[in-house]
Chains A and B, each alone.
Chain A
């Protein structure tokens, strides 16, 4: 009994230090750099997901009431694809990249070699607790690092399951899961890491970066923002509406960093748009959406209260045109649409992260760009239009992590596109090869030979050497030849 109690002791600074020391020893011993080790771990992760799908789906249901389809597809299938891609492409990713050399360093050859950073920390979020934990870990493994994963305590069933599965399937001398909340995370952040990747909100992002600064640790911060959707007229409204719904309520009930946060459309088009939403929402979720099994719940009572605060604010509650129903005991809020909420309302000034969708109306579609740019840069921005010029303007003017035209959220599934934010929505990117790169150091290597040692490099410095140096750096062929062959006299 006593030893059981000891095992469950608090994870404090000393425990964190021990963990890092153990992982660093494994890294220095070369375990994680070994190519076969990386392949074995990735294959083990695939097996882990194949053999535990029902348990994963159950944990996600516990934590988020996530529908099975969302769990199977947005979390498990996406991860398996990511694993398979890494297994397939890793042999190319680890190859050094040749770099061109110029006459200035002739004769020489150069390359860029990818090497692991060392021991990395991945802190993930609660809304996609499996995907946002393991997708970065896939990149870190492929790049050859040792890893600590700290899943979110707000999705505890998934966190526990991850801890158990990773310990059973993967090499725990190199990959560890540390469960816990603020004290454990703080203990981890005190340590020196070679990279920290954090997915979550801006407030904690600042804390993570400040902690990293003490050790000069580079960071990747995947944060959030208010992802806008501009809806132009003259489009296939039904398809557009469905795609917005799929990206909003179909993604963990709006609790996703790339979910459409709010809509901007013209005053003339708003009514048609609202009607289309009403129609499609009912088709997807029925007349009593609070009872639909196809919607996640709000994760916990804190967030539930937060969302109600946004909804029940005086100047906002009168703007509800659809939905608004809530079920406190089951932490459910029905898909809710609001029309023309004031710009200074709470709901328009923080990331909603829930099933409320405000629609802002403007006179001309072009006005939407300035409106978006007046806020902080979001992780994603969406636009539905058939107007080529508008598309071009949108792409050029709107700064966001990523843009999608005529759809929402699907760019996440595209491993050839870097996924990350800019400004307040974060720094750094991952997915596909970008994950491998983000956990690698790209070491520059220059190979020189002993031939062609030009005296003009060396002192004593004279005017003659200055003249020749100018020729060399300036690219005058004749001057260069003379300089390189060492035929120039000092």
Chain B
């Protein structure tokens, strides 16, 4: 990993040393231990993302910290206006267990680049990763400015009693409410990166066979690829036309087998379920007999290894838990519709998700999806990759959260944009001051309308109040 130079502007030290092989191996090992993540997934979703983020931030930082000029109308002449970003102060970052490095360090990069001091509280549900962060960060970062604290919900609660200048939280809506309520006591601004049921609309099966295949690959890659469905942006469920459902299922089955193995015994290249509690939660979603009946592929579980094989369900009851809760696991319901356009109403009947995925080449349909649905992000014809775009804001809306980050948005989310107006002592505009007269009133009215000509007329005595 590279060494980041301290930013010369005198900002808080930004020196992050990533050591090429040693730490990378430890990170892979920790992720394997906590989640059964393979090195490719770990690099793609965690290490690589972070290295890219740091490199991008370093290359742009000087531009971001510079004040931005703002236009000033002639009336104020001579004057200079600008907006200057400033650190908020001492910030608290809570990260989640499913991407224990990315969701901890990506916000940290933003907080540091904006000049804040930071306390990071990683999730104890990924204990090996948490330990790694607790032990390793002090070796590379300024320990007086950046601290990591280990612990569970009780530590989290105690931290929330204190006054912070910003809290950044990634996790569930339930805990998001608690974080915001605690922040309200101190008027602390928050960013909440929550979740939701991310739907994928599938409308490309009747195009060419190769597009259909790519669609299937991207769906499978977008469901079981990221931490085996345990990701806020993983595809939660599919929407497809009735008549195409069986073709879709066949394609998905083939792709799953090719990617992950023929059955639960030969499962590979896929993370496991994080712990017993989540495992039971997912198993319970399948307990409902109507839901169990709708399984068309998979369904086997291995409690000892905390493994549930990739499972597809066809039209489980819409009022079942699997269709009302965020799944966050390897179960993929497919909901069929008479007409794919109905997917818009279906999605709108649920709360705003973090992402809507839509596989379609119909430009009109794309426009309708964009204007008639609401979500953090919309991605057309792919899954997951929007996460790699530093120029796109990443965040939710409604129940999926508020605030955003990635790229410059990370810097902004941890900054206060301070407005600054510089004025000169001359010229002085007398009508600003009392005692008030009709002349002064008219003068100011014209000034506010930027009616410079009218002002001249008034001053020359050609306008009467």
Contact = CB atoms under 8 A, between A and B. Distances in A.
A407 B177 contact: no
A268 to B, nearest CB: 21
Given A402-B420, A458-B217, A473-B52, A216 B268 contact: no
Given A216-B194, A239-B428, A453-B217, A117 B433 contact: no
A286 B418 contact: no
B389 A250 contact: no
Interface string B195-231: 0000000001000001100110110110001000000
A89 interface: no
Contacts of B270: 459
Given A105-B389, A446-B389, A286 B40 contact: no
Contacts of B7: none
B423 A406 contact: yes
* Interface residue SS majority, chain B: mixed
Given A210-B181, A284-B433, A473-B48, A457 B221 contact: yes
Given A406-B424, A410-B76, A68 B436 contact: yes
A422 B187 contact: no
Interface string A389-417: 00100010001111111110011001011
Contacts of A118: 374, 398
Interface string A107-137: 0101011010110000000000000000000
A395 B185 CA distance: 29
B432 interface: yes
Nearest to B415: A422
A7 interface: no
- Interface band, chain A: 35 or more
Nearest to B84: A395
Contacts of B279: none
Nearest to B28: A466
Interface string B167-204: 00000010011001101110101001010000000001
A139 interface: no
Interface stretch (A163-171, A342-350, A424-432): A424-432
Contacts of B421: 402-405, 407, 410-411, 414, 417
A423 interface: yes
A411 B419 contact: yes
Interface of A: 28, 33, 67-69, 72-73, 77-78, 80-81, 99-102, 104-105, 108, 110, 112-113, 115, 117-118, 194, 202, 205-207, 209-210, 212-214, 216, 218, 221, 223, 235-236, 239-240, 242-243, 245-246, 250, 284-286, 292-294, 386, 391, 395, 399-407, 410-411, 414, 416-419, 422-424, 426-429, 441-450, 453, 457-462, 465-466, 469-470, 473-475
23 contacts: A67-B436, A72-B444, A105-B389, A108-B389, A110-B389, A210-B185, A213-B180, A216-B176, A216-B399, A218-B402, A239-B428, A285-B435, A403-B418, A405-B422, A410-B76, A422-B418, A423-B187, A443-B377, A443-B378, A453-B214, A458-B259, A459-B38, A459-B260
